[in-house]
A and B are shown apart, each in its own frame.
Chain A
Amino acid sequence: MPTVSRWMIRISLIYFVLSAAIGMCLLLNKAYPFYPEIWKFLPIHIELMIFGWLIQFTLGTAYWILPRFLKNKARGNLGMAITIPILLNGGIWLVVLSSSIFNINSLAKIGRILELLSVVVFITLHWKRIVSYNVS
């Protein structure tokens, strides 16, 4: 498993546990209301679960498992691959910070743009790896 995939999968697992812990507190609060302000954390729960866990885990696994190139670098440009988790996690943190601490809408916009750029880099890097090497 390449380094980029290992990092993305491990970070996604951390987000998964973190997001599940927030989800547990939200549900416990439904059963036994102990802190009404806890609903502030709902957007963080959603962001970490969808972008932090689901998307990051699948992108990291795809980088590892999609068919490799037969010539030159097996998984394409390493620099581009490294920018995927950097942009994605930067975006996640900006969205999380804007929805919890700073409440600045422009921060969330920048975060979403970083997430989009991360996906665009991912698609650019993987487009040609979505192939079949079977000759019929």
Chain B
Amino acid sequence: MPLITRIYLKSGLIFFVGALLLGIALQIDALAFTALVPLFWHMLMLGWITQIIMGVSLWMFPRRKKVESFKNQCWAWIAYLFLEIGLILRIITEPLILTSSLVVWEILLALSAILQFMAVVFYTLEIWPRVLSKEKLKRVRKKER
């Protein structure tokens, strides 16, 4: 299993535990802030399920570069970094934007929105050319030789 997949999967598992802890918090009256509801869903759907799908597809889809390096997998690495930073910024800033009037939280929340979207775009750029038929894959491999 390539390093990038291992990192996606382990990060996904951490978000899974985080989402479930948040789910428990939402059931406790003293901790159940409404701002936590979208966080719970995004940690579960984006941090856990989507991140696992991304990691496994980067490993299983055809035309995976055997030599692992940032250069060979740059879109996937950028997608990972943007997704993690975007999600973590969101977890910090989304509740704070309701409780604090500091402008910095608005800026960071907007940055988080852009980073999460860009992560999806970069992942798509990585995986789209790898959605190939057997025949096309043979032709591509022949060309590469």
Across-interface contacts of A28 in B (CB, < 8 A): 110, 113-114
- How many chain A residues touch B (CB < 8 A): the figure is 27
Q: Does A20 contact B (CB under 8 A)?
A: yes
Q: Which of B49, B62, B94, B114 contacts A1 (CB 8 A)?
A: B62
Question: In terms of DSSP, what is the predominant structure of the interface of chain B?
Answer: helix
A21 touches B117 (CB 8 A): yes
Given contacts A6-B131, A13-B128, is CB(A24)–CB(B49) below 8 Å? no
* CB under 8 Å from chain B, chain A span 29-80: 30-32, 49-50, 53-54, 57-58, 61, 65
A32 touches B131 (CB 8 A): no
A1 to B112, CA, bound (A): 35
B113 touches A49 (CB 8 A): no
Given contacts A1-B62, A13-B124, A20-B120, is CB(A27)–CB(B53) below 8 Å? no
Across-interface contacts of B121 in A (CB, < 8 A): 17, 20
Given contacts A9-B131, A54-B53, is CB(A17)–CB(B110) below 8 Å? no
A27 to B89, CA, bound (A): 12
* CB under 8 Å from chain A, chain B span 67-114: 90, 94, 97, 106-107, 109-110, 112-114
B94 touches A30 (CB 8 A): yes
Across-interface contacts of A27 in B (CB, < 8 A): 90, 109-110, 112-113, 116
A6 touches B133 (CB 8 A): yes
Across-interface contacts of A128 in B (CB, < 8 A): none
Given contacts A17-B121, A20-B116, A61-B57, is CB(A32)–CB(B127) below 8 Å? no
Across-interface contacts of B116 in A (CB, < 8 A): 20, 23-24, 27
Across-interface contacts of B11 in A (CB, < 8 A): none
Q: B residues within 8 Å of A by Cβ?
A: 45, 49-50, 53, 57, 60, 62, 90, 94, 97, 106-107, 109-110, 112-114, 116-117, 120-121, 124, 127-128, 131-134, 137
- 6 further contact pairs, Cβ within 8 A, besides A13-B128, A16-B120, A27-B116: A23-B116, A24-B113, A24-B114, A28-B114, A30-B109, A61-B57
Q: A residues within 8 Å of B by Cβ?
A: 1-3, 6, 9-10, 13, 16-17, 20-21, 23-25, 27-28, 30-32, 49-50, 53-54, 57-58, 61, 65
14 sampled A-B residue pairs with Cβ under 8 A: A10-B128, A13-B131, A17-B120, A17-B121, A20-B117, A21-B117, A23-B113, A23-B116, A24-B114, A27-B113, A28-B113, A31-B109, A49-B45, A53-B50
